[in-house]
Structure 1
Amino acid sequence: MPASSTDADSSNKRSSDLQYRRVILKLSGESLAESGKRGISDTEMGVIARQIKQAHESGCQIAIVNGGGNILRGAQFSGANHSVQEATAHYMGMLATVINSLALQDALEHIGLSTRVMSALPVDKVAEKFIRRRAIRHLEKGRIVILSGGIGSPFVTTDTAAAQRALEVDADVILKATRVDGVYSDDPETNPHAVLYDQLSYQDVMSKKLRVMDATAIALCSEHRKPILVFNFKRDGNIAKAVRGETVGTWIGDPKDSQN
């Protein structure tokens, strides 16, 4: 069991340099696996868990939305040649996010954090049903809240789920964790001349067709002026730097809302 001391109202112990009181941390399913592999890596989870703890100790309230691509992607069953219907495949992907959430929960509790897994799909043996007010109360009590199951409906990505949950729990920003330093003009792994952007508007992302989050998620954030910070979580300490508002990654949103 996690230490009971972390279950107190740690949100009241905010450091003076904390930029955001509450964030949605968007993790891909692949972040829990070794690079280029599928499944769940205990080592990779441990690295992420320690970074989350470092950020949480600053006083920031953290809710996590994770993908399931390390286990299964609904898109892999799209097309007429598959016996699995696309809607069914999407539900399978949502269940994969529940599996990842349970693994991440144990990794976080192993290092002394108090957590709750909440699911948009009814899996009450292992997770609470997502209820907005309950999720907010968990955050106020200093618990890490892991939001699984997408939004409970097929044909909706976990990026859109992150945007939706950010609005529901009134997060200040969506922290989109990636394996590169931010948003580039092209894939930096294949194009050495790709340009790293410091700041972009929502319209820039859509007009340039930059692969940051899906179009529905970007449109939702644009409509409600919910900023996104895309950064490299593989650099140690970057999650804590992000919640302090330090210059890491690419800022997407109204320049007036920028952390700079």
Structure 2
Amino acid sequence: MSAYKRILLKLSGEALMGDDAYGINRATIVRIVREIQEVTRMGCEVAVVIGGGNIFRGVAGGAVGMDRATADYMGMLATVMNALALADTMRQEGLVARVMSAIAIEQVVESYVRPKALQYLEEGKVVVFAAGTGNPFFTTDTAAALRGAEIGAQIVLKATKVDGVYTADPKTDPSATRYPSLTFDEAIQRNLRVLDAAAFAVCRDQNLPIRVFSIFKPGALRRVVEGEDEGTLVHV
């Protein structure tokens, strides 16, 4: 049984790479989709904000010296590509998904309209938000906080490669320990880069908690949705 009626899952583009240098690893995206499918069967309404780092990484060399706004728009297009791949994999796995973009690409995906997104969620569809906020200089973390607040999500789930927030990098420091929970103020004061500052501000102001967990840990998403002590909870 789901502890949450509606969640916003923040999925980085890098999470789709698997062990590849860039791009989308087919086995990885299928596994992630099946994890999402499992929680929808538990009665949870799911929206996803996806990043584009895996696609943009393949052209990053050519972006050196590029105007920041131009590079950010390229990144937004990368998130649209990821969203289409994610939605198509969901279709193949029996899930109904709708992609909504913050920038208008009407021949490819719907533009983001809040009432329509809410309707899709209430109908049991998975909504995939692409193109971040539609503005340069704002990350997809900020988009996740914004969309989470707009759709009335009860929690933002940030899926990473690490199973929570640690006192140090667990890959290099074996003595690092996981924080079971943190307040937003503690995370900011300790300079823990859970989300960027703008995303923190939105979540804190809207009393929207964040759970950081590993999407690579089998069953972790289900355990988070069931309310178990998985990852790190960041709250007011």
Query: What interval of TM-score do these two structures reach, taking the shorter chain for normalisation?
Result: over 0.9
Alpha-carbon distance in structure 1 between the residues aligned to 2:19 and 2:191? 25
- Residue identity matched to 1:242: V
Aligned to 1:144: 126
Deviation at 1:51, TM superposition (A): 0.4
Deviation at 1:36, TM superposition (A): 5.7
Aligned to 2:92: 110
Alpha-carbon distance in structure 2 between the residues aligned to 1:36 and 1:44? 10
Alpha-carbon distance in structure 2 between the residues aligned to 1:68 and 1:152? 13
1:63 match: secondary structure = strand
1:173 aligns with 2:155: yes
1:216 aligns with 2:205: no
Aligned to 1:43: 27
**Which is worse superposed, 27-36 or 101-110?**
27-36
Identity, % of aligned positions: 44
Runs of 4+ residues over 4 Å off in structure 1: none
1:153 aligns with 2:153: no
Q: Is the 8 A contact 1:139 1:145 kept in 2?
A: yes
Aligned to 2:214: 232
- Residue identity matched to 2:52: G
2:54 match: secondary structure = coil
Q: Is the 8 A contact 1:54 1:237 kept in 2?
A: no
Alignment of 1:52-63 (within 5 A): 52-63=36-47
Aligned to 1:257: none
Specify which structure has the higher proportion of strand. Answer: 2
Deviation at 1:90, TM superposition (A): 0.2
1:26 aligns with 2:10: yes
Q: Deviations over 1:156-180 (max 9, x none)?
A: 0000000000010000000000111
2:129 match: secondary structure = strand
1:135 aligns with 2:150: no
1:116 match: secondary structure = strand
Q: Is the 8 A contact 1:101 1:146 kept in 2?
A: yes
2:212 match: secondary structure = strand
Q: Is the 8 A contact 2:2 2:39 kept in 1?
A: no
Aligned to 1:9: none
Deviation at 1:35, TM superposition (A): 2.9
- Residue identity matched to 2:137: F
Alpha-carbon distance in structure 2 between the residues aligned to 1:151 and 1:219? 15
Aligned to 1:183: 165
- Residue identity matched to 2:190: K
Deviation at 1:126, TM superposition (A): 1.6
Q: Which structure 2 segments of 5+ residues have no match?
A: none
- 2:54 is aligned, of 70, 79, 83, to 70
Q: Is the 8 A contact 1:118 1:148 kept in 2?
A: yes
Aligned to 2:184: 202
**Which is worse superposed, 235-244 or 45-54?**
235-244
Alpha-carbon distance in structure 2 between the residues aligned to 1:157 and 1:35? 24
Alpha-carbon distance in structure 2 between the residues aligned to 1:185 and 1:37? 28
Alignment of 1:65-104 (within 5 A): 65-72=49-56, 82=65, 84-104=66-86
Alpha-carbon distance in structure 2 between the residues aligned to 1:180 and 1:170? 27
